[in-house]
Amino acid sequence: MNKKSLLNSPASDNRIPVILLSGFLGSGKTTLLNRLLAHAPRSAVIINEFGSTPIDQQLLREHNMPLSILTGGCLCCQVIGSLTPLLKNLRMAWDARPSDPIHGKPFERIFIETSGIANPEPVLDTLLRERWLSARYRLEGMVTTVSAVNGAEVLSRFPEAQA
């Protein structure tokens, strides 16, 4: 999937596109997200931090966008129940805000960055099978980052990276 297809959606579909970013710790997810936001500034971002002290949002501070942080565990297990209400609240706020004549709605897509040890399958399942969400959001794509330097070693040592 090329960058253009990740950032542009069909005009006839009123569902908000969601791009899921996953990859093991240190593989470059936040670096990629920063680059995507430079080309797609009208985006909302959900970051899942495993620890209780979030740090990735500090790396995204320069972008002026809606940013939500889910801390205290992985989206795949401990905080998966938080994703649905967060996406519902984002959509209701999006629907309630009138379109700006110049810019339209407050954001055009959502990037979800999973924690470095999360299995993306439960997130995909939530997006695709939760009826309320699937009627309002469209999975635009999933990007998995792998470290060019440490990727082979990480994949052989950590089952979480293989997932």
User: pLDDT of 120-134, one tens digit each?
Assistant: 888 898 899 999 999
- Residue 138, pLDDT above cutoff 90: yes
Tokens matching residue 17? 């596109």
Q: Which domain holds residue 127?
A: 20-162
Considering the domain boundaries, does residue 8 fall inside one?
no
Neighbours of 152 (CB within 10 A): 11
Q: Report residue 62's pLDDT band, with 50, 70 and 90 as the boundaries.
A: low
User: pLDDT of 18-59, one tens digit each?
Assistant: 999 998 888 998 889 988 998 888 899 988 875 544 444 455
In this prediction, residue 134 carries a pLDDT of 95
In this prediction, residue 83 carries a pLDDT of 87
Considering the domain boundaries, does residue 5 fall inside one?
no
Chain centroid to CA 45: how far?
A: 6
Q: Report residue 91's pLDDT band, with 50, 70 and 90 as the boundaries.
A: very high
- How high is the mean pLDDT of the chain? 79
pTM equals 0.79
Higher-scoring residue by pLDDT: 81, 113: 113
Q: How many domains are there within the chain? A: 1
Percent of the chain having pLDDT more than 70?
75
Instruction: Enter the DSSP assignment of 54.
Output: -
Report whether 20 contacts 142 (CB < 8 A).
yes
Q: Rounded to whole angstroms, how far apart are CA atoms 95 and 38?
A: 25
Percent of the chain having pLDDT more than 90?
26
CATH number of the domain enclosing 157: 3.40.50.300
